[in-house]
């Protein structure tokens, strides 16, 4: 959510931001909010003046009673009573206007960073850098489900019977590989100074509204029927919610956390759920990074976060690239975002395995996450998040890049301690 002062003083900046994000249909909101804000401040000014006058009259009543001027006292009492009703009306109006302003403000996107490329959708995202040499082996790389099935490592048919499309059973070495990747990711981030956390996997509606836009919620979140609870789509949701309505000491910043959770997503929209495959699914597990910091620190942390993901994948010998998200591909709360994409030898192209986002003070403003500063006054923190790894999607890149011509899977050195020392996974007889 934007600072209302931004709309008061530089409404054209907000309009230009809407144009850059190709959200011209929201342009009328700017004038609507400015007018509602004017009415709200006018009501507040009237209320303040009325309260001051009421306080003066109340003192005069005491003086008149002490001097036995009963008529003056009664007249002032009548005026005070009339003012009380007028004040109640003004306070009700202020509350109504404030709610309308907040509702409209929640729809406006964050101001994007000047470095963000302008484009309508993910087709306009810009490659930044490649890490590792993408290679194509001299043998055919099967579809990832076929590889898993050769290892008797996945059962989609049973999952359809119990849960429907978008779910899976992982079995044997593939299931162990899935857990090993997550355990390695946890320790990888702990070694980089992040605090490990397992958060709640359900959050309340006001936290959902604080961490994401309404459109994202409708397309992603599962609501628990009859309760004020949603299943999280990523641990970022509950980790940022951890700081709701808090005032943090500057000395405690930055706070860098790495969290594990299962993730649940409806995946409504153009992409849809795969009937056969584990790239886009309803349920998966993820290791995440979350940072809460001072505003001036967030650009540096942004780079550090996506570099962590790059380093993680390279430690598993998987080539990756970074992709700068264009203005139209940015979710409304994001200031800047970079996707990390892994190389697919089978498809001979890169595909998304993680996304790093700087949200500025948008989440902090919605959730009331402030930083204490005696000299400058309290201010809103900046929040950032990034995916370390999200199997089973990550397993697609892992299996394809570590597949050998005889059908076995090489286990990179970094992962071997989590796989019982195995250097190679071989198909069962």
Please write the tens of the pLDDT for every residue from 90-107.
889 999 999 999 999 999
Report the DSSP beta bridge partners of residue 369.
Answer: 246
- Nearest Cα neighbor of 360 from 314, 400, 301, 415 is 301
Do the bridges between strand 126-131 and strand 320-324 make them parallel or antiparallel, or are there none, so unpaired?
antiparallel
**Catalytic-role residue among 75, 150, 280, 294:** 280
Residue 371 confidence (pLDDT): 97
What average pLDDT does the segment 243-255 reach? Answer: 96
Cα separation, 371 vs 369, whole angstroms: 7
Other residues' Cβ atoms within 10 Å of the Cβ of residue 357: 24
Q: Is 393 assigned a catalytic role?
A: yes
Q: Is the pLDDT of residue 403 over 60?
A: yes
Instruction: Tell me the whole-structure pTM to 2 decimals.
Output: 0.89
- By the 10 Å C-beta count (0-12 exposed, 13-18 middle, 19+ buried), 57 is classed as middle
pLDDT band for position 334 (50/70/90)?
very high
Question: Which CATH superfamily includes the segment(s) 122-425?
Answer: Bira Bifunctional Protein; Domain 2 (3.30.930.10)
Most distant pair of Cα atoms in the chain: their distance: 107
Q: What is the pLDDT of residue 199?
A: 97
Decide if 182 contacts 287 (C-beta within 8 A).
yes
Closest CA to 355 of 370, 371, 342, 368: 342
Q: Which two tokens stand for residue 386?
A: 């990034």
Structural contact between residues 258 and 291, judged by C-beta atoms closer than 8 angstroms: no
**Worst-scoring range by mean pLDDT, 78-87, 172-181, 375-384?**
78-87
Catalytic residue among 355, 357, 365, 400: 355
Q: Is the pLDDT of residue 188 over 70?
A: yes
Mean pLDDT score across all residues of the chain: 93
If you ran DSSP here, which 8-state letter would residue 403 be given? B
**Portions of the chain given CATH number 3.30.930.10:** 122-425
pLDDT at 70: 72
Does pLDDT of 230 surpass 80? yes
**Nearest Cα to Cα of residue 352 among 402, 302, 386:** 386
Residue 132 pLDDT: 96
**Active-site residue (options: 304, 321, 366, 393):** 393
Residue 45's H or E segment, with its range, is helix 27-66
To which H or E segment does residue 50 belong?
helix 27-66
Query: What's the mean pLDDT in 340-364?
Result: 96
352 included as an active-site residue: yes
Q: What are phi and psi of 349, to 5 degrees?
A: -160, 170
Instruction: Identify the bridge partners of residue 372 per DSSP, sorted by sequence position.
Output: 249
Cα 385 to chain center, whole Å?
A: 7
Question: Which residue spans of the chain are classified as CATH 1.10.287.40?
Answer: 4-105
- pLDDT category at 268 given cuts 50, 70, 90 is low
Region 333-359: what's the mean pLDDT?
96
Region 301-318 average pLDDT: 97
Whether 280 sits among the annotated catalytic residues: the reply is yes
Which residue among the candidates 265, 304, 321, 346 is catalytic per the annotation?
265
Could you tell me the fold of the domain covering 4-105?
Helix Hairpins (1.10.287)
């Amino acid at each position: 959510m934007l600072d209302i002062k931004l709309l008061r003083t530089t409404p054209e900046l907000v309009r230009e931001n809407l144009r850059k994000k190709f959200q011209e249909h929201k342009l009328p909101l700017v004038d609507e909010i400015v007018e509602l804000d004017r009415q709200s401040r006018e009501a507040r000014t009237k209320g303040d003046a009325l309260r001051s006058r009421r306080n003066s009259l109340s003192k005069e009543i005491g003086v008149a009673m002490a001097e036995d001027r009963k008529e003056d006292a009664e007249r002032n009492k009548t005026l005070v009573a009339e003012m009380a009703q007028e004040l109640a009306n003004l306070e009700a109006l202020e509350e109504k206007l404030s709610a309308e302003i907040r509702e409209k403000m929640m729809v406006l996107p964050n101001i994007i960073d000047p470095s963000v490329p302008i484009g309508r959708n993910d087709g306009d995202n810009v490659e930044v850098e490649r890490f590792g040499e993408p290679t194509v082996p001299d043998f055919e790389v099967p579809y990832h489900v076929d590889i898993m099935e050769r290892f008797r490592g996945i059962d989609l048919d049973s999952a359809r019977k119990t849960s429907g499309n978008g779910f899976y059973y992982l079995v044997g070495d593939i299931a162990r590989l899935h857990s090993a990747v997550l355990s390695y990711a946890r320790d990888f981030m702990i070694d980089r100074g992040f605090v490990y956390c397992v958060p709640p996997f359900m959050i309340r509606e006001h936290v959902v509204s604080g961490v994401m836009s309404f459109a994202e919620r409708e397309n992603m979140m599962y609501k628990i029927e009859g309760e004020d609870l949603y299943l999280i789509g990523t641990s970022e949701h509950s980790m940022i919610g951890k700081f709701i309505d808090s005032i943090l000491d500057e000395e405690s910043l930055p706070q860098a956390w790495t969290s594990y959770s299962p993730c649940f997503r409806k995946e409504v929209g153009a992409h849809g759920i795969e009937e056969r495959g584990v790239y886009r699914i309803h349920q998966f597990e993820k290791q995440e990074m979350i940072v809460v910091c001072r505003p001036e620190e967030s650009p540096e942390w942004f780079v550090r976060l996506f570099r962590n993901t790059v380093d993680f994948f390279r430690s598993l010998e998987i080539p990756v690239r970074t992709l700068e998200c264009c203005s139209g591909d940015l979710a409304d709360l994001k200031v800047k975002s970079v996707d990390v994409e892994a190389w697919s030898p089978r498809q001979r192209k890169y595909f998304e395995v993680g996304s790093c986002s700087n949200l500025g003070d948008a989440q902090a403003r919605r959730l009331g996450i402030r930083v204490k500063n005696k000299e400058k006054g309290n201010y809103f923190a900046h929040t950032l998040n990034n995916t370390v790894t999200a199997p089973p999607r990550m397993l697609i890149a892992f299996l394809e890049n570590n597949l050998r011509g005889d059908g076995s899977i090489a286990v990179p050195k970094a992962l071997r301690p989590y796989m019982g020392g195995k250097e190679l996974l071989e198909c069962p007889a």
